[in-house]
Structure 1
């Protein structure tokens, strides 16, 4: 395996570890509470600690498959059939797309639940439009409720769903709420049902960390948490002192590991660039030598013999003059 390929493999492994740490950091309940306060009406203005206590159980991080038919799993508990999220090990369904973070949160009145999905993206993808993916995810979280949260035709039991997307490295700090609305075309009949079942929130984080004010409060927290520029101490200072998030040992380890992995990815990227530059330089030098020999009167066959290059490759270089 050549050096460039080795570095690429190591960089990919570091990136996978880095992405896992990002999800773990965002998946801390006190961080999720801050996200809920800024995105879900029921929690706006509430104390983060109170909101964190509304999150049920431990959030599922990179365990629940997105694919239809695989999001749920049927369990047999004491002879009773129970349907829940599919949390089988990744080896069993290796290669499947999974929700970054998904969990249930109970509203402050304790009477109903909301399903929350949080996705972290290092930037806006180029191979597809991100809103289309968000629509697919939120639709899966609605349709997968059948048998898990409601049975048969009891559609009134469908729980509200939020799919919240955090996109890093954007040009500006933004937040958009995409949801269903009713537009009367003829008449104004009041159809029964809940328009608030489907919610998508897109959060754009700029490359520069904003000042701490009410408007960009969430953007500053997430920006600091996910920054590749800030040191471990700078991150922990913002998280702990500005947002009063308890810096527990597991969070400290995640922040430290993410910073170290970020540095490793950068170093491997530089190494890949250097190796690629060396290879390109060598190829360019060989091409220059072939052209010089050709201009001095040697035939393509003679050049191929002298340089141990395939004749077709020599002819291609000469044809490029």
Structure 2
């Protein structure tokens, strides 16, 4: 495998590990609680500790398929012999071809009975191959449609649970937050149609490249920016999480922050290596155009003759 391709493969692998680590960090209840307080109306003004206690333990990270027909699975039968349907989880090693929710979980309301289904998605940058809001609409629609036979049966549509799909998009031009939901526009008459207009909710959270200032309105953005930063050092991240957000510094979260920082350094290092390799290739190409021999080029660039031969072979193969 040539040097450039090898570096690209290694960088891709590092980014995949980084993304997995980011999802794991976002999946901690202490972090999810603060996301819910800012993004979900029902939890505004409630303490992080109380919201944390309302989050159910079965938080699925990168395991539940989005695809139609496979989000649910039969998990057993009840005492009357009826099938019990739950969320389908797939083996992470065997999920090729599946689109998976990054994070999906249930959170109870303060009444202790009602629940909301929450999906959190993390994006390192806004995609260019499709409009991200269209994907969010697809995900939130699946959160609704997959409740059939799991949350409600037959025509009991009043049992549908409210859903949120919260998208955290990094490397955006500015900090932002938008709530996209159903609006009832009256066109003719004054008919009041029964039903809930608040069932479907999308929240788009944009994180600027630079970490937000320490201001109340940017509280969530600063937390997420710190957590997902590719430039902050481990000590800086832990200091902000502990002293500004009072997040308990458990051994597991410390280890995951350390892993993420190491992966960030690896991605940066691979980028530098790739950049240096590209510059070296350009220099070799210019010297070849001047008719210089491999030995002279190697001497002038202070590189091994064998390495220059590899680069020339790569240039000629293009």
TM-score range with shorter-chain normalisation?
Answer: 0.7 to 0.9
What's 2:297 paired with? Answer: none
Inter-partner Cα distance in structure 1 for 2:75 and 2:86 = 8
In structure 2, list runs of 5 or more residues that go unmatched.
Answer: 293-314
What is the 5 A alignment of 1:258-273?
A: 258-273=260-275
What's 2:310 paired with? Answer: none
Q: Secondary structure at the match of 2:266?
A: helix
Inter-partner Cα distance in structure 2 for 1:96 and 1:273 = 34
Q: 2:150 aligns with which of 137, 141, 148?
A: 148
In structure 1, list runs of 5 or more residues that go unmatched.
Answer: 291-312, 315-321
Shift of 1:29: 0.3
What is the 5 A alignment of 1:193-272?
A: 193-272=195-274
What's 2:280 paired with? Answer: 278
What's 2:34 paired with? Answer: 34
Distance 1:106 1:284, change over 3 A: same
Inter-partner Cα distance in structure 1 for 2:153 and 2:288 = 70
Q: 2:101 aligns with which of 95, 99, 109?
A: 99
Inter-partner Cα distance in structure 1 for 2:182 and 2:290 = 62
Inter-partner Cα distance in structure 1 for 2:159 and 2:269 = 51
* Structure having the higher Rg: 1
The 8 Å contact of residues 231 and 264 in structure 2, kept in 1 or not, is answered as no
Shift of 1:288: 5.1
The 8 Å contact of residues 120 and 167 in structure 2, kept in 1 or not, is answered as yes
**4+ runs deviating over 6 angstroms:** none
Q: Secondary structure at the match of 2:191?
A: coil
Residue 85 (structure 1) aligned with residue 87 (structure 2): yes
What is the 5 A alignment of 1:1-321?
A: 1-76=1-76, 81-287=83-289, 289=291
Counting matched residue pairs gives 292
Distance 1:282 1:152, change over 3 A: same
Inter-partner Cα distance in structure 1 for 2:277 and 2:97 = 30
Shift of 1:280: 3.5
Shift of 1:41: 1.2
- Give the TM-score taking structure 1 as reference length: 0.87
What per-residue deviation string (whole Å, max 9, x for no partner) do you get for residues 142-173 of structure 1? 00000111111111111000000011111111
Inter-partner Cα distance in structure 1 for 2:285 and 2:148 = 60
Shift of 1:277: 2.7
Inter-partner Cα distance in structure 2 for 1:285 and 1:191 = 76
- Give the TM-score taking structure 2 as reference length: 0.88
Over aligned residues, Cα RMSD in angstroms? 1.8
Inter-partner Cα distance in structure 1 for 2:138 and 2:220 = 25
Q: Secondary structure at the match of 1:96?
A: coil
Inter-partner Cα distance in structure 2 for 1:66 and 1:277 = 43
